[in-house]
Amino acid sequence: MQLISEFLAKLSAERGASPNTLEAYERDLMRYYSFIDTKNITIETAGSDEIRSYLRDLSNHGLAASSRARHLSALRQFYRFLLAESLITEDPAAHIDAPKQQRPLPKLMSVEDVEVLLSRAKLETTTTKNHAQFQAIRLYCLLEVLYATGLRVSELVGLPYAVLNGDDRLFSIKGKGGRERLVPLNEAAKGALMNYIARLDALNQERDDGKALRSKQRQKWLFPSPSKEGHLTRQRFGQDLKALSERAGLNRAKISPHILRHAFASHLLDRGADLRTVQQLLGHADISTTEIYTHVLEERLKTLVGTHHPLANVGKVVKNQC
């Protein structure tokens, strides 16, 4: 669809939207296009009633309120683009209310579980051999850097090799919307990173069969891979992390790269970090996104008080005695 392609090109050129973001917009908008096309309605002639009908159809197919809100957000931006380009005279999505939704609290890992995970990852760097050892060293490096910085998984696996050219205490990250930020590295992350780089260099020196990672990918990416992207994929990292979780005796369903990012933020706030600082480290454009972690801490405090306060169960005891 030409109009959708033009919209995506504008997002890429003017907002620096990532490939993942563009793919999500294209998927949502093409679903909308398919829906109205079955009714013999074009994008330019669709009105508010068609958009409401589309949202109801999404609901009937089991999409959660959050997913329907995402689809509506894509439509709003798309129709604003069409209006600005004078391709329509009225925005049909402008006055449609977003589906009501309760913002879910992020899943978290305890400090103890993170320590168990990192300890297991570090152990495997010395108990494995050959290529399995290189993979273990890479995974340990990824985890230490992720927990030290709170990077988005796409930012982490897509780190350019040039990120090492600056101050070794900091990474300069280009995140969503092309926004740049600095994130500090702790000593554990720096040590794991240097060990990984040394092994990567050694591995490339050993290979002389044309398959070495010291190629264009090796020169461009910090975590090169023969994948289509040229670097380690989010999916592969997620799979490796879940497998490691099982070997560490943890519940793999409760661990992912994104949950480790949540752990980074909540553990900082739990120890007194300023909300604005955490916002900057995470790369959130709006502090309201960061504030969700304060709600998590509030719920945790309520649970702790309810469980351990000496008077917490007095009412229940009195009631039972009556």
* Residue pLDDT, tens place only, 224-246: 998 888 999 999 999 999 999 99
Report d(CA 240, CA 247) in Å as an integer: 11
User: Residue 300 catalytic?
Assistant: no
Mean pLDDT, residues 258-275 = 88
Selecting among 138, 152, 181, 234, the annotated active-site residue is 152
Q: Is the pLDDT of residue 216 over 60?
A: no
111-301 to CATH, choices 1.20.1290.10, 2.40.50.100, 1.10.443.10, 1.10.3720.10: 1.10.443.10
153, 159, 163, 169 alpha-carbon torsion, rounded to 10°? 20
Asked if residues 50 and 39 have their Cβ atoms less than 8 Å apart, the reply is: yes
Q: Is the pLDDT of residue 196 over 60?
A: yes
243 vs 314, which has greater pLDDT? 243
Selecting among 31, 176, 199, 218, the annotated active-site residue is 176
Predicted confidence at residue 176, as pLDDT, reads: 79
User: Which segment of 4-18, 185-199, 298-312 scores lowest on mean pLDDT?
Assistant: 298-312
Q: Is the pLDDT of residue 57 over 90?
A: yes
Read off the pLDDT band of 319 (50, 70, 90).
very low
CATH number of the domain at 2-84, please?
Answer: 1.10.150
Selecting among 107, 242, 258, 300, the annotated active-site residue is 258
Predicted confidence at residue 286, as pLDDT, reads: 80
The domain segmentation of the chain, as residue ranges, is 2-84, 111-301
Q: Is the pLDDT of residue 290 over 60?
A: yes
Report d(CA 112, CA 243) in Å as an integer: 19
Q: What share of the chain is helix, strand, coil (3-state, %, to 5)?
A: 65, 5, 30
Q: Is the pLDDT of residue 218 over 80?
A: no
User: Residue 258 catalytic?
Assistant: yes
Selecting among 25, 32, 147, 293, the annotated active-site residue is 293
Question: What's the alpha-carbon Rg for the chain, to the nearest Å?
Answer: 24
User: Residue 103 catalytic?
Assistant: no
User: Residue 293 catalytic?
Assistant: yes
Predicted confidence at residue 317, as pLDDT, reads: 45
Instruction: Give the CA count within 13 Å in the CB-facing half-sphere of 284.
Output: 18
User: Which segment of 197-201, 237-241, 300-304 scores lowest on mean pLDDT?
Assistant: 300-304
Q: Is the pLDDT of residue 301 over 60?
A: no
Report d(CA 269, CA 114) in Å as an integer: 16
Asked if residues 187 and 262 have their Cβ atoms less than 8 Å apart, the reply is: no
Read off the pLDDT band of 304 (50, 70, 90).
very low
Selecting among 138, 261, 262, 267, the annotated active-site residue is 261
How many beta carbons lie within 10 A of that of residue 51, not counting itself? 21
Per-residue pLDDT tens over the stretch 104-156? 656 778 999 999 999 999 999 999 998 899 999 999 999 999 999 999 999 99
Predicted confidence at residue 276, as pLDDT, reads: 87
Among the listed residues 12, 178, 159, 7, the one whose alpha carbon sits nearest the alpha carbon of residue 78:
7
User: Residue 261 catalytic?
Assistant: yes
Report d(CA 125, CA 129) in Å as an integer: 8
Read off the pLDDT band of 312 (50, 70, 90).
low
Read off the pLDDT band of 213 (50, 70, 90).
very low
Mean pLDDT, residues 16-35 = 91
User: Residue 68 catalytic?
Assistant: no
